Amino acid sequence: MFNKPCDSQSEISRKISPPQLTQEEVKEVGDVGWQPYRDYINASKSATVFCLSIVSQFAFVTFQAASRYWLAFAIEMPEISRSILIGVYAGLSTLGIVFVHLRCLFTVQLGLNASQAFFERLMNSIFRAPMPFFDSTPIGRILTRVRHHVDF
């Protein structure tokens, strides 16, 4: 009914600590390249939303530059009234605001799609992992190993 007392400290530590079945990990050094970005876009399955986000960014930058160019160009022309000067500048700036808003919406949609896909795959790989994986893998390493179990 009762266990016999342990004889030494090493026997106690052997009984407490589970056997390590994982291999020694090596920290890799270097640039990861474009792979995380490709994984992000592939996971979201939203190449169209990504392209719309890029187009919106270019349109925003274009209208921002056009409004500044208009202001610098039109100030030098005395025949342009102040109301036209401000009206055209406000119109170009408003179009820039519309496109920066669209870019934000597309980027958020892309992020939501990707995070949902990552989360679903993460849960599937964790719930389907064999029990020895949890017995031998410290909790901090589980999430770093999920990528090896998930196919994009």
pLDDT digits (tens, 9 = 90+) for 61-73: 999 999 999 999 9
Q: Per mean pLDDT, which range of 25-29, 32-36, 54-58 is the poorest?
A: 25-29
Please report which confidence band the pLDDT of residue 120 belongs to, taking 50, 70 and 90 as the band edges: confident
User: Does any domain span residue 58?
Assistant: yes
Write out the residue range of the structural domain in which residue 91 sits: 45-149
Return the pLDDT at 8: 53
The number of folded domains in the chain is 1
Residue 104 sits at the vertex; the CA angle it makes with 99 and 106, to the nearest 5 degrees, is 90
Question: What is the DSSP code string of 21-48?
Answer: -SPPP----S--TTHHHHHHHHHHT-HH
Q: What is the mean pLDDT of residues 45-56?
A: 91
The answer to whether residue 4 sits within a structural domain is no
More confident residue, 43 or 58: 58
Query: Is residue 23 situated within a structural domain?
Result: no
The answer to the question of residue 33 being in a domain is no
pTM attached to this predicted model: 0.61
End-to-end CA distance of the chain: 53
Given a contact cutoff of 8 angstroms between Cβ atoms, the answer to whether 22 and 136 are in contact is yes
Confidence of residue 37 (pLDDT cuts 50, 70, 90): confident
Is residue 32 situated within a structural domain? Answer: no
**Residue 15 falls within a domain, yes or no?**
no
21 domain residue, yes or no:
no
Higher-pLDDT residue of 43 and 8 is 43
Q: Does residue 117 fall inside a structural domain?
A: yes
- Tell me what the pLDDT averaged over the chain comes to: 78
The whole-number pLDDT of residue 114 equals 87
State yes or no: pLDDT of 12 exceeds 50: no
- Give residue 13's pLDDT band: very low, low, confident or very high (50, 70, 90): very low
pLDDT of residue 57: 96
